[in-house]
Amino acid sequence: MKKTALFLLFISAVFLSQSCKKDKTTTTTTVSPIFQASIGSVSWVPDTLAATLTYNTITKKKTFTVTGQKTQKMIQIIFTDPTSVDDEGITTGNYKVDGTPYLQFNYSTQVKDASGNYVFEPYGTVQPNSGTFNISSIDTDKKTITGSFNFTASKINYDSNGNIVSINLAAVTSGSMQILPYTFVRQ
């Protein structure tokens, strides 16, 4: 009888120890970059990134600026909110480059200037109707913004007589901002 009781006690202890073990299942989460785009057909994620929302108390305008740089390439978005509300957010919605200064894109590459210094030079210009900016959400408490963008910069090449010889295009597509942190400044 003692053997049976000890055996049952042993089995119970083994069962309890097995049921008390923590589940060691590992989950892998893939985090998207907070700012990325494709330049041409090459994926690009900046290693230097700054985003600021500035409210100008004199002009009563709010401007969101984000600049990313990596491998001698820079993307910059400058968006002036159509509302003049003095708060720490911007209006969500879809916006197009329309020739006004309210939405500007800049794609620049690094070149050597006349003094031998490396500087960023705009690749070309973004013409009206060749770019969109979508602000899908903003969290003014956490100061983060989520959205998407795309644009095409065109560079016109001239000959010595001023005639157009070619046009180079740089397509920036699949641009996204995923919970991108920004700084709010009131000036």
Asked whether residue 93 is domain-assigned, the answer is yes
Asked whether residue 16 is domain-assigned, the answer is no
Asked whether residue 157 is domain-assigned, the answer is yes
Average pLDDT, rounded, for the chain: 86
CA distances for 44 relative to 74, 75, 165, angstroms: 10, 10, 30
Pick from 61, 104, 100, 56: nearest CA to 82: 61
Pair type for strands 42-44 and 35-39: antiparallel
pLDDT at 7 over 50: no
Asked whether residue 172 is domain-assigned, the answer is yes
pLDDT confidence bin for 136, thresholds 50/70/90: very high
**Number of structural domains in the chain:** 1
Asked whether residue 74 is domain-assigned, the answer is yes
Q: Measure the CA–CA gap between 101 and 97, rounded to whole angstroms.
A: 9
Asked whether residue 8 is domain-assigned, the answer is no
pLDDT at 12 over 60: no
Task: Give 73-108 pLDDT, tens digit per residue.
Answer: 999 999 999 887 888 999 999 999 998 889 999 999
Q: Which of 27-41, 82-96, 125-139 has the highest mean pLDDT?
A: 125-139
Q: For residues 83 and 105, is the Cβ–Cβ distance under 8 A? A: no
Q: Domain range spanning residue 81?
A: 32-186
More confident residue, 64 or 3: 64
Asked whether residue 13 is domain-assigned, the answer is no
Asked whether residue 124 is domain-assigned, the answer is yes
Q: Measure the CA–CA gap between 68 and 70, rounded to whole angstroms.
A: 7
Q: Find the range with the poorest average confidence among 1-10, 56-65, 103-112, 135-144.
A: 1-10
